[in-house]
A and B are shown apart, each in its own frame.
Chain A
Amino acid sequence: MRTTLEWQIATIQSIQVETSTVKTFTLAVPSWMPHRAGQHYDIRLTAPDGYQAQRSYSIASEPERQGVIDLTVEWLEDGEVSSYLHEGLTTGDQLEVRGPIGGYFVWEASMNGPLLLIAGGSGIVPLMSMIRHRAKTGSQVPTRLLYSVRTPEDVIYDEELRQRPAFRDGLEIFYTFTRSQPAGWTGYARRIDRQMLSEVVEPFGKEPLVYVCGPTLLVESVANQLVQIDIPPARIRNERFGPTGGTQ
């Protein structure tokens, strides 16, 4: 479908602090249209002198939630746009946005699975849209999320992710904490490697649908490891966020 991608003015409905460096902005979008889980919106800032900066941010909310989008943004130290979003905005403020954008890194419940979602840091954002969409459709597609973060304080959507496996709808979540772990932690405590991937993907056989998202180096590393354990490249979709967790 030919969609008109015009810039429009969205209004901040609410701002949710997820971690010390991550916030979710709920935006009311006048020309909202249902997105596909995994898509993103572009945000464009224009300075008084006309200088413009534009970045892409993945949609965290599910398309079933109408009229608004959640964009989860990680603050980057030298991030032109993320700094402004984190430090300069409050409810009622407006932003120029364009979207939804993307057709490659998307998952819809009709695509089935089994589904392996691999996130590093803020790479969880588009995968969260997939998880939320999956739940809203009542899908029971076997799904495993492998979420790599540095410390327990870096887990985005922590409370929601803790609750979801209890719904017993076929979603399992595996964390790996690469720098410091919760007290008494017996799970993974290292960077994602081939062994970890083999263990997590084991019940899914050789043909899961795999989505990998996060810092580029993590995505590159995981992509190579997935090939080494014989996951067909055609079943893997990657989205690289650049040097740290954010899109630049």
Chain B
Amino acid sequence: MTDILQSDMNQALMMDGNAVAGTLSEVFAMEMTTSLAECVSCGKRSEMGGLLAFIQTPGFVLRCPACKDIVLRVVVTPDAYYLDARGALYLRLVRQ
């Protein structure tokens, strides 16, 4: 369980995966808010629209709504997308 006093964890400011859906669709080349992510820390499976989003960081962080641990981190620079998915055991993207 994460210490909830993380620097990006100001609850009033937090949003959810819906708020970063546009950027996620750039990274994954598809609409991602209904894709599933299983949290490596607690095993909860969430649709990405339901992950908690913190956008005060460079890029954004998506956290598990159950245990608050980080599931995904994305940083966008002019040249590249950086994706850290260590917090997800897997992502499940439905083929269209």
A residues neighboring B (CB under 8 Å): 1-3, 5, 40, 42, 54, 56, 98-99, 101-105, 215-217, 220, 237-243, 247-248
Contacts and interface: CB of A to CB of B under 8 A. Distances in A.
Contacts of A239: 16, 18, 49
Band of interface residues on B: 20 to 34
B22 A216 contact: no
B55 interface: yes
Contact of B21 (A54, A101, A216, A240): A101
Contacts of A240: 14-16, 18-19
Contacts of B49: 102-105, 237, 239
Contacts, number: 79
B11 to A, nearest CB: 7
Contact of A2 (B11, B17, B30, B33): B30
B48 interface: yes
A5 B22 contact: yes
B21 A243 contact: no
B8 interface: no
Contact of B31 (A54, A101, A215, A237): A101
A15 B11 CA distance: 33
Contacts of B34: 103-104
A60 to B, nearest CB: 16
A3 B21 CA distance: 13
Contacts of A1: 96
A91 to B, nearest CB: 26
Contact of B15 (A99, A101, A237, A247): A247
Contacts of A241: 15
Contact of B14 (A42, A102, A105, A216): A216
A5 B24 CA distance: 11
Nearest to A105: B18
A54 B59 CA distance: 12
Contacts of A54: 22
Given A243-B12, A243-B13, A56 B22 contact: yes
Contacts of B31: 3, 101-103
B57 interface: no
B40 to A, nearest CB: 21
A77 to B, nearest CB: 15
Nearest to B49: A104
The 5 A-B pairs of least Cβ separation, nearest first, read: A104-B49, A104-B33, A42-B22, A103-B34, A240-B15
A104 B17 CA distance: 9
B13, B19, B33: residue with the most chain A Cβ atoms closer than 10 Å: B19
B83 to A, nearest CB: 18
Nearest to B10: A243
Nearest to A98: B22
A238 B50 contact: yes
A10 B6 CA distance: 39
B19 A56 contact: yes
B13 A248 contact: yes
A247 B48 CA distance: 17
